[in-house]
Amino acid sequence: MFTTAPPLADVQIAPTSFWGRRRTINRLRTIPGQLKLLRETGQIAALKPDYPGVRHRFWDSDCGKWIEAAWSELAGGGEDPEIRAGAEEIQAGLAGAQEEDGYLQSHVRWDRTPNGTWWSGTGRRWENMLESHELYSMGHVIEGLCAQAENGLGRDGLAIAQRMVDLMWKEFGPEGRPWWDGHAEIEMALFRLSRLTGDPRAADLARGFVDHHGPEGMIPAELAELKRRPEDYGCWRNERSFDYWQASRPLREETALVGHAVRALYLCCGATDQMLAGDETLREPLARIWDSAIHRRMHVTGGLGAHPEGERMGQDYDLPDERAYCETCASIALARWARRLLDDRLEGEYGDILELTLHNAVLSGVSLDGMSYHYSNPTATHPHDTRDKEHFRRTRAPWFGVACCPPNVARTLAQLGTLACSTSAGQACFHLYLPGTFRLGGILWRVETGLPCHGRTVVTVTESSTTPVDVRLRIPGWTEAPTLTVNGVPMAITPGTYATISRTWVAGDRVVLDLPMTVQRLHAHPKVRQHAGQVAVRRGPLIWCLEQEDHGADLADLALPDDAPVDYVPGEGPDGLGILTAIGTRTVASAREPGGPLYATRPPQREAVNLRFIPYAVWGNRSAGEMRVWVRRDP
Amino acid sequence: MFTTAPPLADVQIAPTSFWGRRRTINRLRTIPGQLKLLRETGQIAALKPDYPGVRHRFWDSDCGKWIEAAWSELAGGGEDPEIRAGAEEIQAGLAGAQEEDGYLQSHVRWDRTPNGTWWSGTGRRWENMLESHELYSMGHVIEGLCAQAENGLGRDGLAIAQRMVDLMWKEFGPEGRPWWDGHAEIEMALFRLSRLTGDPRAADLARGFVDHHGPEGMIPAELAELKRRPEDYGCWRNERSFDYWQASRPLREETALVGHAVRALYLCCGATDQMLAGDETLREPLARIWDSAIHRRMHVTGGLGAHPEGERMGQDYDLPDERAYCETCASIALARWARRLLDDRLEGEYGDILELTLHNAVLSGVSLDGMSYHYSNPTATHPHDTRDKEHFRRTRAPWFGVACCPPNVARTLAQLGTLACSTSAGQACFHLYLPGTFRLGGILWRVETGLPCHGRTVVTVTESSTTPVDVRLRIPGWTEAPTLTVNGVPMAITPGTYATISRTWVAGDRVVLDLPMTVQRLHAHPKVRQHAGQVAVRRGPLIWCLEQEDHGADLADLALPDDAPVDYVPGEGPDGLGILTAIGTRTVASAREPGGPLYATRPPQREAVNLRFIPYAVWGNRSAGEMRVWVRRDP
């Protein structure tokens, strides 16, 4: 392992910056707002035996993610009595819900549902490896508990985690039976716990879950049940394959990111943890899967999961716009996977993808006021869209029946500091440029930056180092003629790589990185049938989109000619990130009225129109109108 | 009523012509092949009590449609012992399955399914007006029985129909309860029966089913049940409205064609029968609904039903390509509706739509060998399409679990003669030009035509008339400078209208109609977001498409520039209908290989490519590759 994340407290992000504002809203509104909702919708009450309703199978995981957000925010953003009280309350609830032998799932413990289907939960332990989400929920709880201890905020949670490990060791350890969870997550959690506590059993269990994952780890009785009652398995019915659970073949034989996008990406995160812990047999398979995900199956926003059916990955180059799923959790998982890979190797592409998905597909998942969420983040919306209205909305919802995404966004924003950089003895690696202070490689760096809107970043050394420290700076792939100076002396650098500056640093040393930002038109690979003849617009790390709010209805009717200059206008737009303007074309207004012929032998007449692009990250914050990322090149 | 259809025997279509070949295949392969399948898959055996399997709710309707095809073919195409034996066998089966009081549905009679859901059938009579399909099935049986008697092939079937009317009169007549069927069809059947037998009760019942259709005719207990168990109602769940059953409002208040496309169109057919029988209150509502269907909700092929969810109509201008449903039955229903409207008024548009849908969306439903069928007829296909594989196939299937479309195609082809023309005293109306002989307005006409490939049609009078006969000739909307001569004397005519020639005809009189055919590019209304910047190609009545067979994969990558001439090459293509050729463009082959960047800042390089369009009617007859109707205008 090349580097690891610094403690959260070692990164302080300036509150007035772009990301700082998002983090402030996360702390002041999102995290407290979610606590209120967890109280109101039953997740916290469900941790007690007298909860009068029926518990959802995943509810404990929402609690786990929320305490992870809370402890992370307390560590990185400082004390807050309300957040701390919430974390302690939930953690006490989880301790109380845990059974004598360490088992923890409130639904299985208290909701005996003898008539439940296999799909909705049988109410019994370890009966449905594919859909019970038992280890998934325990994984999120363990991660939440780790966040407390990792940041020196108390070690009481570790006892709960440790008892779960004791139980798993008995059930699934060397003396137990092979097992894996249909929704990966436990693998990441156990590697994290093992790094924290040094308990080798946790890492061994995680390795087992990764290594057994696939057809050989299937329980014959479950397989038979699945085949007998396919009607209980929406996902199985849609796919007729085990790809949904990444179980058609062992991970080491997999060639693509397949099936349910979040499950697939969480499994890759866990397997990457295993690789980082020394298992080189996973390097080649993970590289193949990454390659398929990033180079053939990723939306231009960094979203993953082409199809609503099974919330899953499509085939290569199959990237619908209106119907794209692109679950917020999948983009968060992609960011976390990319960040893990950077701990292995400073590949420019890993950093570019981390940046892309955080700035676009992840941020799209939460409103500017921090109080509502997208579950799905498509690249176009239209009111005639026919998808399931629970998960597809043109405006964000305050909560969901399956509320996985909201607390996932909250913990991710709270952990932004550890996603942005990494460190080891004599190493300070900057993956994202956030304004603030960073303690990396033993010394404190101050970063000032105009990103994501302006390309100048200045890194100033505030303390001298006694030994050489290698500073590694990511040069994004989207910039074309970047320059780097160290105390005014230019250095040759290449976009899409990391630049290394090795020296013994003296307080006041100043590194200036200029990343010129031009507006770029992105053309999808010719095999992407959904985007033939269209372009997406990128400026720096941001992907841009058109909204009905600025253009009226019928956005598909707009075109951006190849020769139309696109200009950046700072300060405007829903979040003040600026807008892009261009003179495009559209059908003359009268031809857009209903009443004309449905099919005409003459093309509709066109006229010039002012186009206003806003950052994709902030779509849907003004109205529920249409939105489009991909725009036709020609009239 | 302006005209009615002539007896089927009065139209003889030349067997060597385009439609003649289709009709020969229908007689020699489709109808006998379906009889074999009805025997093998249980529909006929199910008419006996000892059938060992579980009967599908709609199976009796398949039998009804097949005997309608059989009797129609025997009437129009002449005697055939195998077809006659089949019709008699099934008719005897239906008589045997009918209960003492006239009730006929083999599933309800013999499959008592106490655990059945409301959706799949309770096994009891009249318990589920929305989904039981009881009257739908009886309607198709009645239509089949009518076809026998209408054509002088025996009146024994009428006794079965009459007993059904007796039962319905008791249950739903003036002394019964209000009722309507969630899948319209019974209305058409009863008006047809009433015209045949003169029984006013049949027409009164039909009027009741039309007039009660909607929320006021709902049974309160059923409404409550529907709201209590929405999970049993896929269609309800997807829509959250009664539009699916055309029941959100009374038909007279409806403003658009809504919900399940086939149900909606069958209801319009029945309501048009009611209007033709004198109910003027339906004229205005039906005109509104027609307008919405044809001018805002119809695919360019004459297909209806934008969405697979609920097999239903989309919103105005919502016309997806790959995901379009366009059920074969819906296009058949549209043709039958248009033909009914022509009996009311010779509006050019009714004839144009009749022609369009028969030549494209209906013919697409059956293979060239007459032995396999499309259920859904989208305007593009791609192997990555994620829809339900039962109904969406890129090659036709020999049969379906719900086999409504195949016998519907068979009866429609067998009845082509009565769809093509109409008559009354002193009137001979030609809606479609088919080569052959037509006895209309009291005299016999011979028609020779090059349609659908060449635009010259010659109508010759073979018998003199003693009194004046008005000949009314449809001048299609797709032609631009048509000419008409009567015995060499030109007459002024207008595309999209009917031309009338009034004279006392003398044997040897000769009418020559020239309908120049150019290749036209059709542009969808600018509100159709799915086809912005694209064209469909039309020549005469045919819509054309591209297939992978001729171009390799990635058809979305092809473009037809506005200035590229498109030439007609006769004789080629899967059915010898000819092809259209043009020099278009596509991305250079190397850029289409996997491996290049998923998103590139430079547009892919393009090169010229030969485009070959084939008629949409014959797509999917060579391979299971991609198909596209809409092509981008520009590179």
Q: Name the one residue in this structure whose structure tokens are 């009996």.
A: B343
pLDDT at position A309, please?
83
Roughly how many angstroms between the first and final C-alpha of chain A, as a whole number? Answer: 52
**B259 CB-side CA count, 13 A:** 30
DSSP single-letter state for residue A534:
E
Beta strands at A427-430 and A469-475: parallel, antiparallel or unpaired: parallel
| pLDDT above 60 (res A117) | no
Separation CA A267–CA B232 (nearest Å): 35
User: Does the distance separating the beta carbons of B307 and A523 come in below 8 Å?
Assistant: no
Nearest to A384 among B318, B532, B603 (CB): B318
pLDDT digits (tens, 9 = 90+) for B542-551: 999 999 999 9
Beta strands at A534-539 and A542-547: parallel, antiparallel or unpaired: antiparallel
Query: What is the pLDDT confidence band of residue B220, given thresholds at 50, 70 and 90?
Result: low
Beta strands at A631-632 and A534-539: parallel, antiparallel or unpaired: antiparallel
Separation CA A119–CA A110 (nearest Å): 18
pLDDT digits (tens, 9 = 90+) for B345-374: 999 999 999 999 999 999 999 999 999 999
Read off the tokens for A7.
């403690």
Where does residue B220 rank: exposed (0-12), middle (13-18), buried (19+ CB within 10 A)? exposed
Read off the tokens for A272.
């990457």
Could you tell me which chain B residue has the CA closest to the CA of A593?
A: B527
Residue of A296, A392, A525, A539 to mutate for B, most B C-beta atoms under 10 A: A525
User: Does the distance separating the beta carbons of A598 and B525 come in below 8 Å?
Assistant: yes
B536 contacts in chain A (CB < 8 Å): 599
CATH code reported for the domain at B8-421: 1.50.10.20
Could you tell me which chain A residue has the CA closest to the CA of B296?
A: A598
Same fold, B8-421 and B425-514: no
pTM: 0.94
User: Does the distance separating the beta carbons of A635 and B525 come in below 8 Å?
Assistant: no
Q: Name the one residue in this structure whose structure tokens are 């979610």.
A: A34
Number of other CB atoms surrounding residue B459 within 10 Å: 22
pLDDT at position A232, please?
54
Quickly list H helices, B153-199: 156-172, 186-197
Residue B611 pairs in a beta bridge with B582
pLDDT digits (tens, 9 = 90+) for B254-282: 999 999 999 999 999 999 999 999 999 99
| pLDDT above 90 (res B128) | no
Of A2-6, A172-176, A201-205, A320-324, where does the model show the most confidence?
A201-205
Read off the tokens for B379.
């305007």
Number of other CB atoms surrounding residue B534 within 10 Å: 25
Separation CA B398–CA B71 (nearest Å): 22
Beta strands at B534-539 and B519-524: parallel, antiparallel or unpaired: antiparallel
Query: What is the pLDDT confidence band of residue B118, given thresholds at 50, 70 and 90?
Result: very low
pLDDT at position A57, please?
87
Nearest to A634 among B383, B533, B598 (CB): B533
Query: What is the pLDDT confidence band of residue B132, given thresholds at 50, 70 and 90?
Result: confident
Entry field: residues in chain B: 635
Is the separation of the CB atoms in A627 and A394 below 8 Å? yes
Nearest to B554 among A526, A557, A603 (CB): A526
Q: Where are the domains of chain B?
A: 8-421, 425-514, 522-634
Longest dimension (CA), chain A: 78
State the complex-level ipTM: 0.94
DSSP single-letter state for residue A502:
E
Is the separation of the CB atoms in A33 and A440 below 8 Å? no
Nearest partner of B180 among B240, B101, B251, B122, judged by Cα: B251
Quote the crossing angle between the two packed helices B81-97 and B156-172, to the nearest 10°. Answer: 30
Q: Name the one residue in this structure whose structure tokens are 């400078």.
A: B481
Kindly state whether A309 is in contact with chain B, defined as any CB-CB distance less than 8 angstroms. yes
Nearest to A587 among B296, B526, B536 (CB): B526
Separation CA A441–CA B540 (nearest Å): 76
Entry field: residues in chain A: 635
Cβ within 8 Å of residue A220, ≥6 positions away: none
pLDDT at position B506, please?
96
Query: What is the pLDDT confidence band of residue A118, given thresholds at 50, 70 and 90?
Result: very low
Q: Quick one: average pLDDT of B333-341?
A: 98
Give Rg (Cα) of chain B: 25
Helical (H) or strand (E) element with B312: none
pLDDT at position B53, please?
87
Read off the tokens for A120.
């909705």
B295–chain A nearest CA distance, Å: 5
Residue A521 pairs in a beta bridge with A537
Roughly how many angstroms between the first and final C-alpha of chain B, as a whole number? Answer: 52
Cβ within 8 Å of residue B132, ≥6 positions away: B57, B108, B121, B122, B126, B181, B182
Read off the tokens for B438.
């037509």
Separation CA B207–CA A464 (nearest Å): 94
Residue A11 pairs in a beta bridge with A438
Give Rg (Cα) of chain A: 25
Beta strands at B427-430 and B469-475: parallel, antiparallel or unpaired: parallel
pLDDT at position A126, please?
86
Read off the tokens for A302.
């960094």
Is the separation of the CB atoms in B545 and B616 below 8 Å? yes
| pLDDT above 50 (res A115) | no
B600 contacts in chain A (CB < 8 Å): 522-523, 525
User: b/e string for A214-223 if b means 16 or more Cβ within 10 A?
Assistant: beebbbeebe
pLDDT digits (tens, 9 = 90+) for B294-320: 999 999 999 999 998 889 999 999 999
pLDDT at position A226, please?
65
B596–chain A nearest CA distance, Å: 7
**A-B contacts (CB, under 8 Å):** 137
List A residues 486-545 in contact with B (Cβ-Cβ < 8 A): 520-530, 532-533, 536
pLDDT at position B115, please?
46
pLDDT digits (tens, 9 = 90+) for B39-78: 999 999 999 999 998 888 889 999 999 999 999 999 999 9
Q: Quick one: average pLDDT of B397-404?
A: 88
Read off the tokens for B358.
């028969």
A596 contacts in chain B (CB < 8 Å): 525
Read off the tokens for A193.
């716990």
Residue of B539, B587, B598 to mutate for A, most A C-beta atoms under 10 A: B598
Of A220-224, B215-219, B402-406, B408-412, where does the model show the most confidence?
B408-412
List B residues 227-246 in contact with A (Cβ-Cβ < 8 A): 238
Kindly state whether A599 is in contact with chain B, defined as any CB-CB distance less than 8 angstroms. yes
Cβ within 8 Å of residue B121, ≥6 positions away: B57, B107, B108, B111, B113, B128, B131, B132
Cβ within 8 Å of residue A121, ≥6 positions away: A57, A107, A108, A111, A113, A128, A131, A132
Query: What is the pLDDT confidence band of residue A222, given thresholds at 50, 70 and 90?
Result: low
Separation CA A397–CA A410 (nearest Å): 15
Helix then strand then coil, in percent of chain A rounded to 5, is 40, 20, 40
pLDDT digits (tens, 9 = 90+) for A520-539: 999 999 999 999 999 999 99
Quote the mean pLDDT of chain B. Answer: 93
B383 contacts in chain A (CB < 8 Å): 315
Could you tell me which chain B residue has the CA closest to the CA of A292?
A: B595
Please name the fold of domain B425-514. Answer: Immunoglobulin-like (2.60.40)
pLDDT digits (tens, 9 = 90+) for B185-216: 999 999 999 999 999 999 999 999 999 998 77
Residue of A231, A598, A628, A631 to mutate for B, most B C-beta atoms under 10 A: A598
A357 contacts in chain B (CB < 8 Å): none
B478–chain A nearest CA distance, Å: 9
DSSP single-letter state for residue B9:
G
Could you tell me which chain A residue has the CA closest to the CA of B601?
A: A522
DSSP single-letter state for residue B125:
T
Active site residues of B: 311, 404
Beta strands at B599-600 and A631-632: parallel, antiparallel or unpaired: unpaired
Where does residue B158 rank: exposed (0-12), middle (13-18), buried (19+ CB within 10 A)? buried
Residue A544 pairs in a beta bridge with A615
Amino acid at residue number A226: L
Nearest partner of A140 among A102, A97, A189, judged by Cα: A189
Separation CA B22–CA B416 (nearest Å): 10
Nearest to B591 among A294, A309, A526 (CB): A526
pLDDT digits (tens, 9 = 90+) for A124-182: 788 778 888 999 999 999 999 999 999 999 999 999 999 999 999 999 999 998 889 99
Sheet holding A469-475, edge to edge: A421-424, A427-430, A469-475, A497-503
Quickly list H helices, B98-153: 106-110, 134-150
User: Does the distance separating the beta carbons of B604 and A529 come in below 8 Å?
Assistant: no
Where does residue A144 rank: exposed (0-12), middle (13-18), buried (19+ CB within 10 A)? buried
Q: Is A424 helix (H, G, I), strand (E, B) or coil?
A: strand
> What phi, psi does A104 have (nearest 5°)?
-140, 105
Helical (H) or strand (E) element with B270: helix B261-276
User: Does the distance separating the beta carbons of A298 and B520 come in below 8 Å?
Assistant: no
Q: Quick one: average pLDDT of B490-494?
A: 97
Active site residues of A: 311, 404
B523 contacts in chain A (CB < 8 Å): 599-604
Where does residue A514 rank: exposed (0-12), middle (13-18), buried (19+ CB within 10 A)? middle
Read off the tokens for B104.
């006929």
Nearest to A599 among B300, B530, B599 (CB): B300
pLDDT at position B113, please?
60
Is the separation of the CB atoms in A34 and A370 below 8 Å? no
Nearest partner of A362 among A238, A494, A541, judged by Cα: A541
Nearest to B296 among A598, A602, A633 (CB): A598
> What phi, psi does B378 have (nearest 5°)?
-75, 170
A546 contacts in chain B (CB < 8 Å): none
Kindly state whether B256 is in contact with chain A, defined as any CB-CB distance less than 8 angstroms. no
Q: Quick one: average pLDDT of B446-455?
A: 96
Kindly state whether B633 is in contact with chain A, defined as any CB-CB distance less than 8 angstroms. yes
| pLDDT above 80 (res B156) | yes
Beta strands at A469-475 and A542-547: parallel, antiparallel or unpaired: unpaired
pLDDT at position B28, please?
97
